[in-house]
Amino acid sequence: MKLRFVLFAFATLLGTAVAPASAALRVLACEPEWGALAQALGGDKVNVYLATNALQDPHQIQARPSLIASARNADLVVCTGAELEIGWMPVLLRQSGNERIQPGAKGYFEAANFVTKLEVPTRLDRAEGDVHAAGNPHIQTDPRNIARVGAALAQRLADVDPANAAAYRAAHEDFSARWNAAIGRWEKEAAPLRGVRVVVQHKAFPYLLNWLGMVEITTLEPKPGVEPSSGYLSEVLARLQREPARMVLRAAYNDGRSSEWLAERAKIPAVVLPFTVGGDEQAMDLFALFDDTIKRLLGALR
């Protein structure tokens, strides 16, 4: 209950408490990490509305009336892209009737366009599960990607709202300096994680693992987005007896039954990572998101 309250408070802060809508650029953020980044760069020049929260699967969102109304009034939409929102964003854009935020317009921004994608498939076959043609969309788990997106988003804010361009650029310079310093600190703290072998519940962490030098042994989903059977989980357990791992990772929004089942039998910790801003009571901004992620990973080693 307390976590739900904190998530509500976070969404309220971004969605309504920043500035009157008439005085601020109206930003619709598809995921909490981009809402937090837009807020960090925009300050009182933006009014941010979140389409999702950290305990929702961003693949599976309904284009509800309140969300359509927010899209109808938005000056800028900030999404991950790379097909993460393919199940709901096209419907939302179409029903909004808002020409300012359609693909190709200045008011439409996809973060994944500004980073190097991992796990880009060599062939497309929907029989292989929830495969994204452009690559794995969960780019926000590497803070270096946040830095790249931040630079592009600051420029886009300036393009959409040229009257406040100087403010956006100044905010980005400040954010970038603090963010790059934090990346150096996180990498130093996380040095013991290099080479650590892990199991993941969903293929949500390739960018995090690549950044920290961790090694994914296998996943608890037989195919992306497909829930495991008891037989498949038994196969994973048998594999771990041959190739031990140190922990099982899942995102805050994942159902934890399969990871807890494996963790208990393999005698390794199941680690719930916040995954995005608001994923737990500690990760309430972008800096705290990575502070908490590193802390949880290191705690599992001990």
CATH of the domain at 151: 3.40.50.1980
pLDDT of residue 23: 64
In this structure, the answer to whether residues 217 and 70 fall within a common structural domain is no
pLDDT of residue 13: 46
Q: Which regions in the chain score pLDDT beneath 50?
A: 1-22
pLDDT of residue 121: 83
Determine the structural domain holding residue 111 and report its residue range. 2-184
Cα 62 to Cα 89: distance, rounded to the nearest angstrom: 9
pLDDT of residue 124: 63
Task: Kindly report the number of other CB atoms within 10 A of residue 241's CB atom.
Answer: 9
In total, how many domains does the chain have?
A: 2
pLDDT of residue 257: 95
pLDDT of residue 242: 94
Task: Spell out the alpha helix ranges (H) of 47-86.
Answer: 65-73
Q: Where does a domain end: 155, 184, 213?
A: 184
Residue 247, token pair as written in the block = 């922990």
